[in-house]
Chains A and B, each alone.
Chain A
Amino acid sequence: MEILVCVKQVPDDSVKIGLNSSGKPAVDGVTMVANAFDTYALEMATRLKEANEGTITVVAIGPEKAKDALKSCLAVGASKAYIVNEDGLGDMDSLTTGYTLSKAVAKIEELNGAKFDIIFCGKETTDCTTGMVGAQLAERLGIGCVTGIVDIELKDGGISVKQETEEGYNVVETSLPAVVTVNKPAYDPRYPTMKSKMAARKIPIGEISKADLGVEDDKIVPSVKVISLSEPPKKQAGVKINEKTFEDTMAKAMEILKDAKVF
Chain B
Amino acid sequence: MGYILTEEGKELVATVKEFCENEVKEQCKEFDMSGEFPENIVKMGAEMGLSAIEVPEQYGGVGIDAVTCAAICEEMAKADAGFYTTMSATGLALRPVLIAGSEEQKKWACDIVLNGGQAAFGLTEPMAGSDSSNTKTVAVKDDDGYVLNGRKCFITNGGIADFYVIFAMTNKSRGIRGISAFIVPKGTEGLSVGNHENKMGIRTSNTTDVVLEDVRLPHSALLGKEGMGFMIAMKTLDMSRAYVGAGAVGIAQRCIEEAVKYSKQRITFGSPISNHQAIQFMLADMDIKTETARAMVVQAVLRQEQGLSFAKESAIAKCYAGDIAVQVALDAIQILGGYGYSREYPVEKLLRDAKIFQIYEGTNQIQRSVIAKSVLKGM
- Measuring CB to CB, which residues of chain A are less than 8 angstroms from any residue of chain B? 71, 75, 191-195, 197-198, 201
Contact B48 A191 (CB under 8 A): yes
Complex interface: chain B residues within 8 A of A197 (CB):
11-12, 15
- Is there a chain A Cβ closer than 8 Å to B62's Cβ? yes
- Is there a chain A Cβ closer than 8 Å to B53's Cβ? yes
Residue-wise, chain B 7-28 has the 8 Å CB interface mask toward A (1 for contact) of 0100110010011000100000
Contact A198 B8 (CB under 8 A): yes
Residue from B8, B44, B48, B52 whose CB has the most chain A CB atoms within 10 Å: B48
Complex interface: chain A residues within 8 A of B63 (CB):
198
B60's closest neighbor in chain A, by CB?
A195
Given contacts A198-B62, A198-B63, contact A193 B47 (CB under 8 A): yes
A196's closest neighbor in chain B, by CB?
B49
Per the bound structure, the CA–CA distance linking A194 and B68 in Å amounts to 11
Contact B53 A194 (CB under 8 A): yes
Per the bound structure, the CA–CA distance linking A114 and B49 in Å amounts to 34
- Is there a chain A Cβ closer than 8 Å to B100's Cβ? no
A199's closest neighbor in chain B, by CB?
B62
Further pairs besides A191-B48, A192-B48, A194-B12: 8, Cβ < 8 Å? A193-B49, A194-B49, A194-B52, A194-B53, A197-B11, A197-B15, A198-B63, A198-B64
Per the bound structure, the CA–CA distance linking A71 and B19 in Å amounts to 17
- Is there a chain A Cβ closer than 8 Å to B191's Cβ? no
Per the bound structure, the CA–CA distance linking A163 and B62 in Å amounts to 40
Contact B8 A194 (CB under 8 A): no
Complex interface: chain A residues within 8 A of B319 (CB):
none
Per the bound structure, the CA–CA distance linking A201 and B50 in Å amounts to 18
Per the bound structure, the CA–CA distance linking A191 and B49 in Å amounts to 11
Q: Which of A71, A193, A198, A201 contacts B48 (CB 8 A)?
A: A193
Contact A191 B19 (CB under 8 A): yes
B8's closest neighbor in chain A, by CB?
A201
Q: Separation in Å of the A71 CB from the closest CB of chain B?
A: 8
Complex interface: chain B residues within 8 A of A193 (CB):
47-49
Complex interface: chain A residues within 8 A of B49 (CB):
193-195
Complex interface: chain A residues within 8 A of B8 (CB):
198, 201
B7's closest neighbor in chain A, by CB?
A201
Contact A194 B11 (CB under 8 A): no
Task: Summarize A's interface: helix, strand, loop or mixed.
Answer: helix
Q: Separation in Å of the A233 CB from the closest CB of chain B?
A: 25
- Mark out the residues of chain B between 97 and 127 whose CB falls within 8 Å of any chain A CB in the assembled complex: none
Per the bound structure, the CA–CA distance linking A222 and B12 in Å amounts to 39
Contact B19 A194 (CB under 8 A): no
Please give me the 7 A-B residue pairs with the lowest Cβ-Cβ distance, nearest first. A194-B49, A193-B49, A194-B62, A193-B48, A198-B62, A195-B62, A191-B19
Given contacts A198-B62, A198-B63, contact A191 B11 (CB under 8 A): no
- Mark out the residues of chain B between 16 and 59 whose CB falls within 8 Å of any chain A CB in the assembled complex: 18-19, 23, 44, 47-50, 52-53
Residue from A75, A197, A201 whose CB has the most chain B CB atoms within 10 Å: A197
Q: Separation in Å of the A73 CB from the closest CB of chain B?
A: 13
Q: Separation in Å of the A242 CB from the closest CB of chain B?
A: 23
Q: Separation in Å of the A173 CB from the closest CB of chain B?
A: 34
Given contacts A201-B8, A201-B11, contact A194 B50 (CB under 8 A): yes
Q: Separation in Å of the B187 CB from the closest CB of chain A?
A: 27
Contact B62 A191 (CB under 8 A): no
Contact A192 B62 (CB under 8 A): no
Per the bound structure, the CA–CA distance linking A204 and B199 in Å amounts to 49
Complex interface: chain B residues within 8 A of A75 (CB):
15
B57's closest neighbor in chain A, by CB?
A198
Contact A191 B15 (CB under 8 A): yes
Per the bound structure, the CA–CA distance linking A192 and B44 in Å amounts to 11
Q: Which of B15, B23, B53, B64 contacts A192 (CB 8 A)?
A: B15
Per the bound structure, the CA–CA distance linking A194 and B50 in Å amounts to 7
Complex interface: chain B residues within 8 A of A192 (CB):
15, 48
Complex interface: chain B residues within 8 A of A71 (CB):
11
Per the bound structure, the CA–CA distance linking A75 and B18 in Å amounts to 14
Given contacts A201-B8, A201-B11, contact A194 B64 (CB under 8 A): yes
B11's closest neighbor in chain A, by CB?
A197
Contact A198 B12 (CB under 8 A): yes
Per the bound structure, the CA–CA distance linking A71 and B10 in Å amounts to 13
Q: Separation in Å of the B14 CB from the closest CB of chain A?
A: 9
Per the bound structure, the CA–CA distance linking A197 and B18 in Å amounts to 13
Contact A191 B52 (CB under 8 A): no
Per the bound structure, the CA–CA distance linking A201 and B350 in Å amounts to 36
Q: Separation in Å of the B16 CB from the closest CB of chain A?
A: 8
5 example contacts (A-B, Cβ-Cβ < 8 A) are as follows: A71-B11, A193-B47, A194-B12, A194-B50, A197-B12
Complex interface: chain B residues within 8 A of A191 (CB):
15, 18-19, 23, 44, 48
Residue from B11, B18, B23 whose CB has the most chain A CB atoms within 10 Å: B11
Q: Separation in Å of the A199 CB from the closest CB of chain B?
A: 9
A192's closest neighbor in chain B, by CB?
B15
Residue from A71, A75, A198, A201 whose CB has the most chain B CB atoms within 10 Å: A198
Per the bound structure, the CA–CA distance linking A71 and B7 in Å amounts to 13
Per the bound structure, the CA–CA distance linking A198 and B68 in Å amounts to 13
Per the bound structure, the CA–CA distance linking A194 and B63 in Å amounts to 10
Per the bound structure, the CA–CA distance linking A193 and B19 in Å amounts to 10
Per the bound structure, the CA–CA distance linking A215 and B62 in Å amounts to 42
Complex interface: chain B residues within 8 A of A198 (CB):
8, 12, 62-64
